[in-house]
Amino acid sequence: MATQFYNGKRLSFDGQLCTVRYFGEVKGTTGEWLGVEWDDPTRGKHSGENAGIRYFECVSKLPTAASFVRPTRRSDPPRTFVEALRHKYASEDFEDPDVKIVYIRKDKDQVPSKRHDKPIKISGKEVEEVGFDKIRKQLADLHELRIVLLDGLCMSRITTLRERLSNTSNIAESAALTDIKDTCPKVVELDLSRNLFEEWREISSICEQLDKLKSLRVDGNRFRDVSLSDAERTHCATAFANIKTLKMEDNLLPWHEITSLVTLFPHLNTFVASSNAFGKLENGFLPPTITDLTLEDNNFHALSDLLPLARLPNLQRLILKNNKITEIVTPGSEMPVFSSALSEIDLSYNEITNWAFIDRLEDVFPGLSAIRVAHNPLYQSLHAADGKALSAEDGYMLTLARIGRLKNLNYSPITPKERLNAEMYYLSQIGKELSANPEGKEATIIASHRRYAELCEEYGDPNVHRSASSINPNSLAARLIKFSFHLGESEKGAVKEDTPTSFTAEIPMSFTVYSALGIVGKKFGLPPMKLRLIWETGDWVPAGQDALAADTAWDSESSGDEGDKETGTERVSREVELVAGTRTVGTWVDGVEANVRVELR
């Protein structure tokens, strides 16, 4: 019986795939055991160790990936490719009662469906309900299949290959099998995921018969042997010549073996290698033809872990979603600089915590124009320099403003108006930070904002108001805004002669604009709801841009505005209207002081 089992043999028990890692005795028991590693690492009970004795190692690092089973336990029988194909698409007893098609009956004399005693009517027209058995009859013409999905069907080809190789040592003759080509020659998309394949030769022997194949998926297979002779590698290059897309998720092969296989595809454009537990990539390079690369759900901690990928000259899109990336470069590592062809990056669901990471992205990706950074810790606990909490939307505005060439953020295109609002908002936040710190720290703060000089040249320097004495951010004073209200020139004649035309009041940031209007109206003796409050920001913008902004909140759905374009070198003061409503004044005004002009509607 021992000859039946070997390290790396693939088995299936009750539909659960596993790989043999050990065959022999287990101390404290009688008889022989199989030590298996389950493809589902939550399926087992240990990691190859029993009673303090290590019997085997698992590829998976989860502590419940392994079990001991008796070698006499009956395993699921393997299928050949053609058997799996017929089982899936031409099985006589295959019918899914939950999948139904409804179509309009063309023949009034047609016999009603066997599923109903009476015909069904929809909008006065008779229809027939048809089960999946009729769809199966169409699919049963295997010769016409173009998309074939054979995942999880206990498929193996190693026996067929061994029988063929036992009769000849010539690779060309051993590759002369035509069982697949004779059955389904028109396949362009093939899924061989989660089966019993052990050697890469099994995959190549299938693909070499499908000369129209464009997309191949082999997720979840646990290959025991991916080594190939030079002659076999040359033959594979022909077998895989037309394949443009390759997916190898959850294979748990080391990076150098993955790259060794991928180089067998001479014209590959799209490659997916998610969920392979990759850490730092070393000793292996992908082919230069790749333009789209996905490495989700791995264990990268820094962009420097991806250094070999910087050699891809044609890479345009890189998906790094759901890793553990938190820094650009780890100590002692080299910073990667990718080709300018790479324009789209997905860094969502990582562990980015600081703005320095965002600022350096353009150093790593010189051609960056589209990025996704949602669901990172950075956007979950943002605060302004004055201690006020910022929303995730504020964070995305700051991201947009910090990356000057960005055209798309979190799948939303960036309009000129959004960029204008975001950059002016960012500049105001820098002004707040400078105001909240002593003058001696100014150079350090400015150095931490790499676009500061560029934005000042575009919009002018931000207002910096340093208080003579520091204010405790937890004190009442830190939660008040000092408003200086004054009537507009045309409104001065609307008040009584003895009424002052200006006054100063400290108002809590949490007060609504309605409350502020009530204070102003009472002071000037004017109807509150007929007043407009215009905050004179002190910022300067090009004359062609909107001098008065009713609401500068960033809206990713807003459209561009021709008025955002600069039409000259003259600059005018930017003003913001505090629109009447329940929004608090603290969300309208930057800083702790504000000059507000009062006008009648």
Cα separation, 525 vs 131, in Å, equals: 78
Cα separation, 392 vs 55, in Å, equals: 50
pLDDT of residue 159: 62
- Token pair 């590959």 is found at 268
- 446, 414 contact by CB (below 8 A): no
- Token pair 């296989």 is found at 261
Contacts by residues 91-100 (CB-CB < 8 Å, ≥ 24 positions apart): 91/136, 94/133, 94/136, 95/131, 95/132, 95/133, 95/136, 96/131, 96/132, 97/131, 97/132, 99/131, 99/132, 99/135, 100/129, 100/130, 100/131, 100/132
- Angle, alpha carbons 34-38-43 (nearest 5°): 110
Query: What is the Cα Rg of the chain in Å?
Result: 34
87 versus 123: the higher-pLDDT residue is 87
Predicted confidence (pLDDT) at residue 185 exceeds the cutoff of 90: yes
Per-residue model confidence as pLDDT tens digits over 461-482:
888 877 655 555 555 556 788 9
pLDDT of residue 230: 92
Q: What is the mean pLDDT of the chain?
A: 84
pLDDT of residue 313: 97
Say which range, 101-105, 390-394, 419-423, has the weakest mean pLDDT: 101-105
Predicted confidence (pLDDT) at residue 218 exceeds the cutoff of 70: yes
Q: How confident is the model at residue 299 (pLDDT cuts 50, 70, 90)?
A: very high
Domain annotation for the chain: domains and CATH numbers: 2-69 (2.30.30.190), 91-139 (no CATH), 477-600 (3.10.20.90)
Burial group, residue 533, by CB count within 10 angstroms (0-12, 13-18, 19+): buried
pLDDT of residue 543: 61
pTM above 0.75, yes or no: no
Rounded average pLDDT over 491-500:
84
pLDDT of residue 327: 96
Q: How confident is the model at residue 565 (pLDDT cuts 50, 70, 90)?
A: very low
Crossing angle of the two packed helices 452-459 and 416-435, in degrees rounded to 10:
110
pLDDT of residue 447: 93
